[in-house]
C-alpha cells in the first residue's frame, strides 16, 4: 500500500471495507462518496500522510481503529453526517488533530476514541482525560456551542466570571472557548475513603456536567448531577464552583 496516493471508490458500495486502505502512507486526501454508510475497522489505519478527509452525509458509523495513527490529520468535520457510532480507538494517536466537529446524531462511543490526541483538548487540563471518550465529546460540543454563538457566550462569560481562558490552545483558536474551572474543597469533605484515581474520576464528571451546562444541555447536566449525588455522594456549589463530599 505504500505506493497508493489516491483512492477511487466504486459506485453503489455502502461500506469501506476492513483495512481497505491501511498503511497507505503516501495517501494525502480522501473523498468518501455519498451512499457510504460505514467506514470499517482499520480502514485507514496508519495513513500517516493523510491530512484531509471529506465525509458523506450518508455516513452513520466509523468503526474501530478506522483512522488510528493518521499522524498528519488535523481536522475532522462530521457535523453534516448522520454518524451515530464511533468505535474503539477510531482516532487514536492522531497526534496532529486539533479540531473535531461531532453531530447531534452521535449516540454511542467506544473506548479510547481519542487516546493520544493531545492537541485536541487543552494539554494542561488534568480534568480532561483524552482516554475518556464521553468527556472529550462533551468538551467538543461545548466548543461547538461557543463557535455557533460567540457573542452570546462572550456576554455570558463576562457576567458569570468564567475562569480558565483556553483560547491560546489549538482547538480553540477560532472561538471564545472557555470552561469554568472547578476545584475540590477538601475542608468541606471527608474524602479519606477515596484515592487519587477516584478523585480524578469525579473531577472528570464535574467537568462533564460543566461542559453540558455551557452547551445549554441542561437535562444532560442534571443527569450528571444526579449521578454525582447518588453514586459518589458529591455535592456541587455552582456559585463558588467547588465540589465536595457530603458528610453523613
Between 44 and 136, where is the model more confident?
44
| Residue 169 pLDDT exceeds 60 | no
pLDDT in tens, 216-234: 778 888 988 998 998 888 8
Report the pLDDT value the prediction gives residue 107, as an integer from 0 to 100: 84
What mean pLDDT do residues 178-187 have? 68
Residue 108's CB is within 10 A of a number of other CB atoms, namely: 11
pLDDT in tens, 91-131: 999 999 999 999 888 888 888 899 888 888 765 454 566 77
| Residue 205 pLDDT exceeds 70 | yes
How many Å apart are CA 240 and CA 221, to the nearest integer?
17
| Residue 168 pLDDT exceeds 80 | no
Between 68 and 206, where is the model more confident?
68
Report the pLDDT value the prediction gives residue 145, as an integer from 0 to 100: 58
| Residue 1 pLDDT exceeds 90 | no
CA dist 74 to 14, 48, 95, 98, Å? 26, 11, 8, 6
What mean pLDDT do residues 230-239 have? 87
pTM beyond 0.95: no
- For the chain, strand residue ranges (E) read 15-16, 29-31, 38-39, 52-54, 61-62, 75-77, 85-86, 99-101, 108-109, 183-184, 234-237, 242-245
Cα Rg of the chain (Å, integer)? 20
Between 182 and 110, where is the model more confident?
110
| Residue 48 pLDDT exceeds 60 | yes
Contacts by 149-157, CB closer than 8 A, 24 or more apart: 150/175, 150/176, 153/214
Q: Average pLDDT of the chain?
A: 78
Report the pLDDT value the prediction gives residue 174, as an integer from 0 to 100: 30
| Residue 84 pLDDT exceeds 60 | yes
Between 20 and 165, where is the model more confident?
20
Q: Tell the residue number behind the cell numbers 450528571, with chain if given.
A: 224
Report the pLDDT value the prediction gives residue 61, as an integer from 0 to 100: 97
List of domains in the chain: 1-120 (3.80.10.10), 148-245 (no CATH)
| Residue 190 pLDDT exceeds 70 | no
* Most trustworthy range by pLDDT among 69-73, 208-212, 243-247: 69-73
Percent composition of the chain: helix, strand, coil (DSSP 3-state, to 5): 25, 15, 60
| Residue 175 pLDDT exceeds 70 | no
Report the pLDDT value the prediction gives residue 137, as an integer from 0 to 100: 79
Amino acid at each position: 500500500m505504500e505506493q497508493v496516493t489516491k483512492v477511487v471508490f466504486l459506485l453503489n458500495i455502502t461500506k469501506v471495507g476492513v483495512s481497505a486502505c491501511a498503511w497507505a502512507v503516501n495517501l494525502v486526501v480522501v473523498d468518501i462518496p455519498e451512499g457510504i454508510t460505514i467506514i470499517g475497522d482499520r480502514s485507514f489505519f496508519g495513513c500517516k500522510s493523510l491530512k484531509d478527509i471529506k465525509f458523506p452525509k450518508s455516513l452513520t458509523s466509523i468503526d474501530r481503529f478506522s483512522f488510528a495513527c493518521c499522524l498528519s490529520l488535523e481536522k475532522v468535520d462530521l457535523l453534516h453526517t448522520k454518524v451515530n457510532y464511533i468505535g474503539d480507538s477510531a482516532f487514536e494517536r492522531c497526534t496532529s488533530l486539533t479540531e473535531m466537529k461531532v453531530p447531534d446524531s452521535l449516540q454511542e462511543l467506544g473506548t479510547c476514541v481519542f487516546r493520544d490526541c493531545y492537541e485536541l483538548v487543552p494539554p494542561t487540563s488534568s480534568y480532561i482525560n483524552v482516554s475518556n471518550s464521553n468527556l472529550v465529546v462533551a468538551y467538543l460540543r461545548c466548543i461547538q456551542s461557543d463557535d455557533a454563538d460567540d457573542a452570546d457566550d462572550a456576554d455570558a462569560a463576562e457576567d458569570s466570571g468564567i475562569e480558565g481562558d483556553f483560547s491560546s490552545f489549538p482547538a480553540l483558536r477560532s472561538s471564545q472557548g472557555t470552561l469554568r474551572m472547578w476545584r475540590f474543597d477538601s475542608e468541606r469533605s471527608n474524602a479519606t475513603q477515596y484515592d487519587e484515581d477516584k478523585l480524578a474520576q469525579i473531577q472528570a464528571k464535574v467537568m462533564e456536567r460543566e461542559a453540558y451546562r455551557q452547551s445549554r444541555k441542561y437535562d444532560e447536566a442534571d443527569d450528571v448531577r444526579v449521578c454525582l449525588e447518588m453514586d459518589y455522594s458529591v455535592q456541587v456549589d455552582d456559585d463558588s464552583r467547588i465540589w465536595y463530599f457530603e458528610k453523613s
